[in-house]
Amino acid sequence: MTDLTSLTLAEARDGLAKKSFTSLELTDAHLAAMERARALNAYVLETPERARAMASEADARIAKGEGGRLNGLPLGIKDLFATEGVRTTACSKILGDFKPPYESTVTSQLWRDGAVMLGKLNNDEFAMGSSNETSCFGPVINPWRRAGSDTKLVPGGSSGGSASAVAAGLCLGATATDTGGSIRQPAAFTGTVGIKPTYGRCSRWGIVAFASSLDQAGPIARTVRDTAILMRSMAGHDPKDTTSVDRPVPDYEAAIGKSVKGMKIGIPREYRLDGMPAEIEKLWAQGADWLKAAGAELVEVSLPHTKYALPAYYIVAPAEASSNLARYDGVRYGMRVEGRNIVEMYENTRAKGFGAEVRRRIMIGTYVLSAGYYDAYYLRAQKVRTLIKKDFEDCYAAGINAILTPATPSAAFGIGEKTGADPIEMYLNDIFTVTVNMAGLPGIAVPAGKDAQGLPLGLQLIGRPFDEETLVSLGEVIEQAAGRFTPERWW
């Protein structure tokens, strides 16, 4: 039998339907792969008993000719999603052993459709980071290595566990979240596909909040088709999240193979950065050529406020985070460090419970929201945000269907290479991705090539609001041309 962990989600789905194997066999193969891959630190909690029970139920449904769209397919869940009765920590010490008495809407929809939970995946603490080095469970290792080197590389972040697990065959697909690039950047660093849907497409209910006006859930998987399949189950209106949007969920998979002839693809001038590696330039031009060969028309466009996106993001996101994280006070969740009085207890708990990057964000956020500074920072950043959004609206009003950019300014870097004194070095990773969150738009990252050291590189496509289908169609054109990316097993 072929290695069940090397199948795509769609292949596994079809294999189950044909009864080539059972969900229990598929699940056991993944559980064994997870055990062999502990050195990658992708999972922070494995749930084998639950997984096998869910798989057996899925097999029973298959035997009766029943079962939903994801019936019997084993998935990994980012530890930011609340899972009922299963430890959920956002990879922060402050949540301790918190076991939510509720299930996030997104994950409950996956279980509704029959999926199997393998465990909880590592991420940056409260999803703050671009390398998965801020997790209280330690860094995740990228299954990719530079040619001829055993230097450990980061998988990107914050959904580093999701990306690493998908790339290494430790699940068929994973949930992830994207506040400033956390689905697309790790996908690009690991040769996987990630979609950040339009803000409001997936419910945020039951997802640990980072920056509520930017946070959005989405899938990471090995192919564009697989992300399309997962997104259909994850998306949908939820009365428990007032920002979720009430519009029908399309069959995203049907967009695979749809002609992109005549589509207008924007190439934004402002994304051509000074000092951008030649390989990224080349990759971008190659992507444009592939889309052109498929019948699309390439048009140079301008997004003039791009240069303000990163600074504005690093005001808005910490501001919202400082407010969202006020709830971790030693009373309601997990950890408590006693003090002589209640104020000291709050202080001790928060000082011990949060890691350095989270503390930095809370301090910046509190500062930019404080009286006297609010207008100069927060209000101004919100105005910039409106202008960034308008840049995209102008493009789309001029007939552009989607915008093509690099996903990241470099390939995966080494553990510890960017955690020095200057946090901006790390923040610069998000330069091509944050604009999309600021504007609330959908974006997909698709592997498109390799750098000189053999590491995968990704391209990003940015779509019109709620037009994820076009991203699926265009993304698949790139995938078909670039081929699949699988790391060589060393772990």
DSSP string, 450-485: E-TTS-EEEEEEEE-TT-HHHHHHHHHHHHHHH---
Instruction: Give min distance, CB of 201 to ligand GLN, in A.
Output: 16
Residue of 463, 485, 329 whose CA lies nearest to 396:
463
Instruction: Give min distance, CB of 372 to ligand GLN, in A.
Output: 25
Tokens found for residue 246: 């009430």
What order do you get walking across the sheet with 43-46 strand by strand? 43-46, 116-121, 74-78, 173-177, 217-221, 193-196, 443-450, 456-463, 402-406, 264-268, 297-301
Is residue 158 part of the annotated active site? The answer reads yes
Of these, 238, 430, 451, 469, which contacts ligand GLN (CB under 6 A)?
Answer: 430
In the range 308-367, which residues lie near ligand GLN by CB under 6 A? 317
Is 158 one of the binding residues for ligand GLN (CB under 6 A)? yes
Is 141 one of the binding residues for ligand GLN (CB under 6 A)? no
Instruction: Give min distance, CB of 435 to ligand GLN, in A.
Output: 12
Taking phi over 0 as left and psi of -120 to 50 as alpha, with beta for the rest, 242 belongs to: alpha
Q: Are strands 456-463 and 402-406 parallel, antiparallel or unpaired?
A: antiparallel
Is 408 one of the binding residues for ligand GLN (CB under 6 A)? no
Is residue 78 part of the annotated active site? The answer reads yes
Instruction: Give min distance, CB of 430 to ligand GLN, in A.
Output: 5
CA distance 317 to 206: 19
**Complex with ligand GLN: residue 105 or 130, whichever CB lies closer:** 130
Widest pairwise Cα distance in the chain: 70
In the range 165-204, which residues lie near ligand GLN by CB under 6 A? 178-182
Residue of 420, 325, 419, 414 whose CA lies nearest to 364:
325
Tokens found for residue 175: 């949930």
Give the interface segment with ligand GLN, choosing from 34-42, 47-55, 126-134, 228-236 (CB under 6 A): 126-134
Catalytic residue among 135, 162, 164, 182: 182
Backbone phi, then psi, for 300, in 5-degree steps?
A: -75, 135
Q: Where are the extended beta strands (E) located within 62-192?
A: 74-78, 116-121, 173-177
Catalytic residue among 158, 203, 233, 473: 158
Is residue 182 part of the annotated active site? The answer reads yes
Quickly count: other Cβ atoms within 10 Å of residue 365's Cβ.
Answer: 26
Instruction: Give min distance, CB of 143 to ligand GLN, in A.
Output: 21
CA distance 107 to 150: 36
Binding mask 213-252 for ligand GLN (x = CB under 6 A): ----------------------------------------
Backbone phi, then psi, for 28, in 5-degree steps?
A: -60, -40
Is 127 one of the binding residues for ligand GLN (CB under 6 A)? yes
**Complex with ligand GLN: residue 26 or 209, whichever CB lies closer:** 209
**Complex with ligand GLN: residue 62 or 358, whichever CB lies closer:** 358
Is 160 one of the binding residues for ligand GLN (CB under 6 A)? no
Instruction: Give min distance, CB of 314 to ligand GLN, in A.
Output: 8
Give the interface segment with ligand GLN, choosing from 45-53, 125-133, 377-385, 469-477 (CB under 6 A): 125-133
Instruction: Give min distance, CB of 407 to ligand GLN, in A.
Output: 13
Residue of 454, 481, 484, 471 whose CA lies nearest to 151:
454
Is 79 one of the binding residues for ligand GLN (CB under 6 A)? no
Size of the site for ligand GLN (CB under 6 A): 13
Is 441 one of the binding residues for ligand GLN (CB under 6 A)? no
Backbone phi, then psi, for 388, in 5-degree steps?
A: -65, -45
Q: Which residues of this chain interact with ligand GLN, rule CB under 6 A?
A: 127-130, 158, 178-182, 210, 317, 430
Indicate which residues carry an active-site annotation: 78, 158, 182
